C-alpha cells in the first residue's frame, strides 16, 4: 500500500522502511500470563528460537505408560517438579488422565482431584516456571488455570474427546468446520477467554487407531499439516490468539513407526513451508487461507514405544524407562529440526543432550 509515499519525519518511502525491517532482528515471543487471582504464579516470557525449551512430564496417574504411579501424591509431585526445574525444565506439564493405548477411564471428578490441588501445591511450594494442564476437558482446564496453571495442552486440539473416550457417546458428536466436536465448543471458548498459550496436538482419537492416511497418498506430513490447519482455523475463528497457538504433530498418536520417523526427521517442514491450507477467510479477513508457517512447535517422543522397536533390544521393547538413550537420539534430531519445546521425562539427562545439541545446531554456548 502506497510504497512510494515518503514518511514526513523519517524522510524514507514506505518501501524503504519495510525493507529495513527484514534486516533487523525481530524476535518471536511466547507469553505465559499469571492470572491475577493466583498470587503464587508468575508471568513468564520466552524468546522463541533462542534455545530449545524443556517441558517436564508430571503424570499424577497410576497407569501412564512410563511413570504411572510415581507421582500420585502431592509430596512426590512437588519433589519431581522441583528437581526438574533445578536440572533444566522450563515448564512443567501435569496430567491426570492417561491417553496411552488401553488406559483406564477416569471420571471428571477423579481427574480434577489429580490436577488442580497438585498445581495449587506446586505454586504454594514456590514453583515459578509455567505450568501446563494436560487435559481435553474444559472443566478440568478451568480449575487448573484457577489453581495457577498458565497453559493448556490438549491432545484433541480443543475439540473434546472422541467416541469411547471419557464417556463420550456418538450422539454427543457434532461437526464444526470439518472437525468432529464432542464438547459443544467448551474447550475452545475457554482457551479464547483465558488467553493463555494452547498446545494443539494432532490426533485421530484413540492413540492406537486410525492410522490410514491413504487419503493423502500416505504423506504423513501433508496429512498432519492439513488436519492441524483445520483446527488452527477453528481456533482462530473462535478468538484464540494466533501468537498463543503451539503445534504438536502427535508422535505416537494414530501413527505408524514410519510416520513417527518421518515427522521427527522432517519436522521443520511442518511449519517452515508456506503451503497454505485453503479455508474460508472469515477467521483472517486479510488472508484467503491458513498457513502453519512459523507457528512454534512442541514434540513429545520421550520413552515412546516406537523408540523401543527401533532400538531393537528386548528390554527397550518392554520397559519405557530403558528408552532414554533412544529418546536422546530423537531429541537431538528434533533440535536440529528447530523444534521449540521438547517434552521429556528424564529432565536431568535430556537437559545435557538438548544443551549440547543447541550448541551444535543453534550455536548457543551459554
Per-residue cell: 203: 490426533
Using pLDDT thresholds of 50, 70 and 90, give the confidence band for residue 318: confident
Instruction: Answer for the pair 355, 328: CB distance below 8 angstroms, yes or no.
Output: no
Q: State the chain's mean pLDDT as an integer.
A: 86
Residue 202 pLDDT > 60: yes
Q: Higher model confidence: residue 358 or residue 177?
A: 358
Residue 286 pLDDT > 90: no
* pLDDT at residue 357, as a whole number: 97
Q: Output the CA angle 157-166-344, nearest 5 degrees.
A: 55
> Residues 196-219, buried b or exposed e (16+ Cβ, 10 A)?
bbbbbbbbbbbbeeeeebeeeeee
- Segment 299-314, tens digit of pLDDT: 999 999 999 999 998 8
Lowest mean pLDDT among 29-38, 228-237, 341-350, 352-361: 29-38
Q: Using CA atoms, how far apart are residues 146 and 152, in angstroms rounded to an integer?
A: 12
Residue 42 pLDDT > 80: no
> Residues 345-365, buried b or exposed e (16+ Cβ, 10 A)?
bbbebbbebbbebbeebeeee
- Segment 85-144, tens digit of pLDDT: 999 999 999 999 977 666 577 889 999 999 999 999 999 999 999 999 999 999 999 999
Per-residue cell: 109: 471428578
- Segment 233-249, tens digit of pLDDT: 999 999 999 999 999 99
94 bridge partner residues? 58, 133
Average pLDDT over residues 260-267: 98
Cell 496436538: give the residue.
201
Using pLDDT thresholds of 50, 70 and 90, give the confidence band for residue 158: very high
Amino acid at each position: 500500500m502506497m510504497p512510494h509515499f515518503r514518511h514526513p519525519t523519517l524522510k524514507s518511502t514506505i518501501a524503504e522502511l519495510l525493507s529495513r525491517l527484514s534486516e533487523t532482528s525481530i524476535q518471536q515471543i511466547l507469553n505465559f500470563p499469571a492470572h491475577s487471582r493466583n498470587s503464587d504464579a508468575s508471568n513468564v516470557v520466552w524468546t522463541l528460537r533462542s534455545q530449545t525449551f524443556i517441558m517436564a512430564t508430571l503424570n499424577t496417574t497410576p497407569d501412564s505408560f512410563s511413570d504411572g504411579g510415581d507421582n500420585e501424591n502431592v509430596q512426590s509431585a512437588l519433589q519431581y517438579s522441583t528437581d526438574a526445574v533445578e536440572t533444566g525444565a522450563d515448564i512443567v506439564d501435569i496430567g491426570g488422565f492417561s491417553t496411552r493405548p488401553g488406559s483406564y477411564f477416569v471420571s471428571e471428578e477423579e481427574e480434577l482431584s489429580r490436577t488442580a490441588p497438585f498445581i495449587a501445591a506446586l505454586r504454594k511450594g514456590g514453583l515459578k516456571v509455567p505450568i501446563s494442564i494436560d487435559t481435553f476437558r474444559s472443566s478440568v482446564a478451568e480449575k487448573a488455570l484457577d489453581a495457577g496453571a498458565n497453559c493448556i495442552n490438549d491432545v484433541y486440539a480443543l475439540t473434546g474427546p472422541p467416541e469411547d473416550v471419557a464417556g463420550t457417546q456418538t450422539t454427543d458428536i457434532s461437526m464444526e468446520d470439518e472437525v468432529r466436536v464432542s464438547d459443544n465448543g467448551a474447550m475452545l471458548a475457554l482457551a479464547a477467554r483465558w488467553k493463555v498459550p494452547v498446545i494443539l496436538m494432532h490426533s485421530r482419537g484413540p492413540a492406537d487407531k486410525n492410522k490410514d492416511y491413504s487419503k493423502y497418498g500416505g504423506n504423513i506430513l501433508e496429512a498432519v499439516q492439513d488436519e492441524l490447519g483445520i483446527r488452527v482455523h477453528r481456533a482462530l475463528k473462535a478468538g484464540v490468539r494466533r501468537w498463543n497457538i503451539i503445534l504438536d504433530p502427535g508422535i505416537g498418536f494414530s501413527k505408524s513407526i514410519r510416520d513417527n520417523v518421518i515427522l521427527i526427521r522432517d519436522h521443520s517442514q511442518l511449519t517452515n513451508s508456506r503451503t497454505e491450507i485453503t479455508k474460508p477467510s472469515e477467521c483472517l479477513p486479510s488472508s484467503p487461507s491458513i498457513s502453519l508457517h512459523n507457528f512454534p512447535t512442541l514434540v513429545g517422543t520421550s520413552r515412546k514405544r516406537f523408540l523401543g522397536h527401533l532400538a531393537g533390544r528386548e528390554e527397550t521393547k518392554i520397559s519405557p524407562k530403558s528408552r532414554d538413550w533412544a529418546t536422546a537420539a530423537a531429541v537431538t534430531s528434533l533440535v536440529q529440526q528447530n523444534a521449540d519445546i521438547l517434552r521429556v521425562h528424564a529432565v536431568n539427562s535430556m537437559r545435557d543432550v538438548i544443551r549440547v545439541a543447541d550448541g551444535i545446531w543453534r550455536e548457543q554456548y551459554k
